[in-house]
Amino acid sequence: MISEGLVTEGRCPVDGGELYVSSTGDGPPLLMISGGIGAADDYRALVKQFSDEYTVVTYDRRGHFRSTDHTEGPISVRRHAEDAFAVIEYIDAGEATVFGTSAGAQIGLELAVRHPEALVELVAHEPPAVRLMPDADRWLAEAAEQVSLARSGDLLGAFTLFASQIAGAGLPGLRTVRLSNKQEWAFLFDREVTSFLGYLPDLAALRKSRVDITPIAGVGSRGRYHYQPAKILALELGLPFVEVPGNHLAPQRNPAQFAEALRGLFLEP
């Protein structure tokens, strides 16, 4: 890895691609797995809140931004989990505290199933595990519609439908929407969103896991599809469910307040 100032950057080889990895800080490793369009930079403000206590590691998901992907077809949560494991091995961490939000929380749950030896603990913020919900078909149909719109050329329509369901997205009127990172959104809709929403955590394996798991959701997300799965997951696993300040985008929009709540959930470093 190459150090630039206080940030160390590198490229982690994975099956069918290569991941851009960034780390900063000092202390035990804390891996943050991004949701949304998979940008390591989404956590830039949150990373600063923890870099005095942890070596904070982030990465661009495969196929997004500075990472590459040479595979075809849907990218499974299992493949993403193997990527996260590769990052932990790449930084020679042995094991890491892991935080994931949204799709990143789904990846973290699969990582805990497939490689429990690599995690000290997992805090899963609002995983969109809609298949745990009684109205799962509704949300899977929404995802299918987003994919259909994006593939038909209406990327803005897909994004608008996607964002309208997210607590804290603050979607403006259609006339004022200017969609940035179009390539990243197209990749998400074409190859990832169906896998993320269709992923059903392996409850039996998670019940047996050695990993300390904390499902959390923001008080501002109540009533949204991404709030309820964390609550159901906690119930199914016999774990406490924790409400934290903010909404689905709190890790980006309210990093200081969110970090304070998150810090109280982590085991002592």
pTM for the structure as a whole: 0.95
What's the mean pLDDT in 176-196?
92
What's the mean pLDDT in 199-204?
98
Q: What pLDDT does 5 receive?
A: 46
Q: What pLDDT does 50 receive?
A: 97
Q: How many CB atoms lie within 10 A of CB 244?
A: 23
Cα–Cα distance measured from residue 185 to residue 159, given in angstroms and rounded to the nearest whole number: 8
What is the chain's mean pLDDT, rounded? 94
Q: What pLDDT does 4 receive?
A: 46
Cα–Cα distance measured from residue 123 to residue 238, given in angstroms and rounded to the nearest whole number: 15
Torsion over CA of 37, 42, 255 and 5, rounded to 10 degrees? Answer: 170
Cα–Cα distance measured from residue 200 to residue 225, given in angstroms and rounded to the nearest whole number: 15
Cα–Cα distance measured from residue 109 to residue 77, given in angstroms and rounded to the nearest whole number: 9
Q: What pLDDT does 6 receive?
A: 65
Pairing, β 29-33 against β 55-59: parallel
Pairing, β 55-59 against β 17-25: antiparallel
Q: What pLDDT does 172 receive?
A: 54
Q: What pLDDT does 3 receive?
A: 45
Contact between 142 and 163 (Cβ < 8 Å) = no
15-24 burial, b at 16+ Cβ within 10 Å, e below that, comes to eebebbbbbb
Q: What pLDDT does 268 receive?
A: 76
The values of phi and psi at residue 198, to 5°, are -85, -5
95-99, 164-168, 174-178, 219-223: least confidently modelled range = 174-178
Ramachandran sector of residue 206 (left: φ over 0; alpha: ψ -120 to 50; beta: rest) = alpha
What's the mean pLDDT in 221-243?
97
Domains of the chain: 2-131+199-263 (3.40.50.1820), 136-191 (no CATH)
Taking each continuous run of H as one helix and of E as one strand, the counts in the chain are 11, 10
Band of pLDDT at residue 7, cut at 50, 70 and 90 = confident
Q: What pLDDT does 171 receive?
A: 58
Cα–Cα distance measured from residue 139 to residue 116, given in angstroms and rounded to the nearest whole number: 29
Q: What pLDDT does 267 receive?
A: 87
Q: What is the pLDDT of residues 58-107, one digit of tens each?
A: 999 999 999 999 999 999 999 999 999 999 999 998 999 999 999 999 99
Cα–Cα distance measured from residue 63 to residue 49, given in angstroms and rounded to the nearest whole number: 27
Residue 251 pLDDT greater than 60, yes or no = yes
Q: What is the pLDDT of residues 12-51, one digit of tens each?
A: 999 999 999 999 999 999 999 999 999 999 999 999 999 9
